[in-house]
Amino acid sequence: MSEYNAPFEIHVHGEVQLRADVDFAQLQDALRPMWRYAGARSLADGATSVYEEEPGIQFEAREHMLQMCWTVQGDEDFRQVLDEVCMSLNEIAEQGAAIEVTFYDTEFDEDEADDDAESRDDFVMLFVGPTPAAIMQVQRDLLVQDVINVMERHFDASELSGVVAEVDKLFSERFDALVSSLDLSKRPRGAGGGRSGGNRRPRHLH
């Protein structure tokens, strides 16, 4: 994707715990759609973000950790890149992880736009993991955290056990339905990749 006249700045943020046997070559292959989209010939060349203050894509070999705080200029077709990358990361991930992706509309100027014009900013949360149960575990944990953060404004944490139990019940029911359709067997604690949409989030910097 050419960086010229690109309608979006796309920021990818998250960290994925990889299996201990995964090496740089395997990671480079898994992330191939991303660095090729950036016009690079290798992960080493494509790991740099368009913003110097962002660490980009990093492989911490000792901790077996993939860390991403990386921005690329692009278009809506980057969503297909994300789907391909998530499928590949599922194959090398040690546990479930969430990846935040924000599309910043570079063509929208709030000062010059008409009153009824709206920005095309978008936020997507992606989930990867070695199993559907591992992915659901991350989804469950994030939802519980969000619910507690909101409700603690009005209630003590000790009063929220029933709410958490209801969240667990919802995920248990979803997992049971998945088991029935795919013959799986490991329920998430407390109870393919997934995604959820949302509003624009601020860029994360390390």
Alpha carbon dihedral 177, 180, 181, 185, in 10-degree steps, equals 100
- Contacts of 162-167 with C-beta under 8 Å, sequence gap 24+, read 164/190, 167/140, 167/143
Residues 173, 22: Cα–Cα separation, whole Å: 33
Residues 184, 186: Cα–Cα separation, whole Å: 7
Q: Which amino acid is at 112?
A: E
Integer-rounded Cα radius of gyration of the chain: 19
pLDDT tens-place values along the chain, 206 residues long: 445 567 999 999 999 999 999 999 999 999 999 999 999 999 999 999 999 999 999 999 999 999 999 999 999 999 999 999 999 999 999 999 999 999 999 876 665 555 566 778 999 999 999 998 899 889 888 888 888 888 888 888 788 888 888 887 877 777 777 666 655 555 555 544 444 544 444 455 44
Report pLDDT for 112: 58
Report pLDDT for 103: 96
Alpha helices in 31-160 (DSSP H): 32-37, 43-46, 78-92, 132-151
Residues 200, 134: Cα–Cα separation, whole Å: 26
Report pLDDT for 130: 96
Count CA atoms within 13 Å of residue 168 on its CB side.
Answer: 11
Report pLDDT for 206: 43
Contact 120, 103 (CB under 8 A): yes
Report pLDDT for 1: 47
Report pLDDT for 155: 87
